[in-house]
Structure 1
Amino acid sequence: MYETMVKSRYFEEMMVEAYSEGKKPIFNIGAGPVPGEMHLSNGEEPAAVGICAHLKKEDTVSSTHRPHHHAIAKGVDLKKMTAEIFGKVTGLGKGKGGHMHLFDPNVNFSCGGIVGAGLPHAVGSALAAKKKGEDFVAVAFIGEGAANAGSFHESMNLAALWKLPLLLVIEDNAYGISVPKSTSTSVDSNETRAIAYGIKGYRVHDNDPIEMYLVSEEAIAHARSGQGPSIIEIETYRFLGHFQGDPETYRSKEEVPSLLKKDPIMKLKELLIKEKYMSIGEMEEMENKVKKEVDEAYAFARGSEYPQPESALEDVFNN
Structure 2
Amino acid sequence: MVWPIYYVFTLNYPAERQKADTEFILSSFGNRTLADLTAFMANKPIIRGLGEYALGLLMVGQRAVGGNTTYFLGEVSGAGWRSYFPIVYALKEPLAWWILVIFALVYLAWQIPSLKSKDESLKQRSFKNSIRHWSLALSHWTKVHFVEFAMLLWLAIYWTTSIKSNLNIGVRHLLVTYPFAIILVSGQLARLKHKIKYFIPIVVFLLTWYVAENLHIWPYYLTYFNQLAGGPSGGYRYVVDSNLDWGQDLKRLSQWVEENKIDKIHLDYFGWSDPVYYLGPKFQWLTAGQYKNAQDFINKTGGGYIGVSATFFMGSRGNPTKSYIWLQRFEPVAVIGNSIWVWKF
TM bucket normalised to smaller: under 0.3
Q: Report which of the two structures shows the higher radius of gyration computed on alpha carbons.
A: 2
Q: TM-score, normalised by structure 1?
A: 0.25
Q: TM-score, normalised by structure 2?
A: 0.23
